[in-house]
C-alpha cells in the first residue's frame, strides 16, 4: 500500500492551496483518511480527518478555512486550504487507516510529506 500526496507550495497570507492524496496497492477498505502537519520544532498534529461515512473532524485552528473531502471509489482525499496563515506553515502528511483484506486489522499508512509555506 502506498499513499501519494500532491500539492503544497508557497503562498502569501490569505492565499489558498489544495492538497490531494491517493492510496494505491492492495486495498480492501479504508476507514479514516486525513491530513496531519508538523511545524518546525513542534509535534505532528491532526489537521482534518474524513471517515468513510462522510463525517469529518477539524483542528480548531483551521475550522472555517479548510475543507476535507474524499472519493471512496478512487481512494483519494482532498483538502482545500483557504485564507492561509503563517502559522499553517509546515510539512503536511496524508494518513489513512487501511485494511488490505477482510481478515486484516486496520493499519495506519503515511504518505510522504509535502511542504506548505505561508509567508509574505
DSSP for 62-80, written as a single string: GTTTEEEEEETTTTEEEEE
What grid cell was written down for 38?
Answer: 508538523
- Specify the DSSP element, H or E, that contains 6: strand 2-6
**For the segment 52-82, what is each residue's pLDDT rounded down to a tens digit?**
888 999 999 999 999 999 999 999 999 999 9
| CA pair distance 2, 10, nearest whole angstrom | 25
Residue 32 has pLDDT above 90, yes or no: yes
Amino acid at each position: 500500500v502506498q499513499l501519494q500526496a500532491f500539492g503544497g507550495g508557497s503562498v502569501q497570507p490569505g492565499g489558498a492551496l489544495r492538497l490531494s492524496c491517493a492510496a494505491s496497492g492492495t486495498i480492501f477498505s479504508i476507514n479514516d483518511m486525513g491530513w496531519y502537519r508538523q511545524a518546525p520544532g513542534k509535534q505532528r498534529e491532526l489537521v482534518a480527518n474524513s471517515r468513510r461515512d462522510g463525517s469529518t473532524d477539524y483542528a480548531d485552528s483551521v475550522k472555517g478555512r479548510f475543507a476535507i473531502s474524499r472519493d471512496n471509489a478512487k481512494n483519494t482525499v482532498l483538502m482545500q486550504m483557504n485564507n492561509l496563515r503563517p502559522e499553517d506553515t509546515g510539512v503536511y502528511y496524508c494518513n489513512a487507516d487501511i485494511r488490505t483484506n477482510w481478515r486484516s486489522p486496520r493499519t495506519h499508512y503515511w504518505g510522504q510529506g509535502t511542504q506548505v509555506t505561508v509567508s509574505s
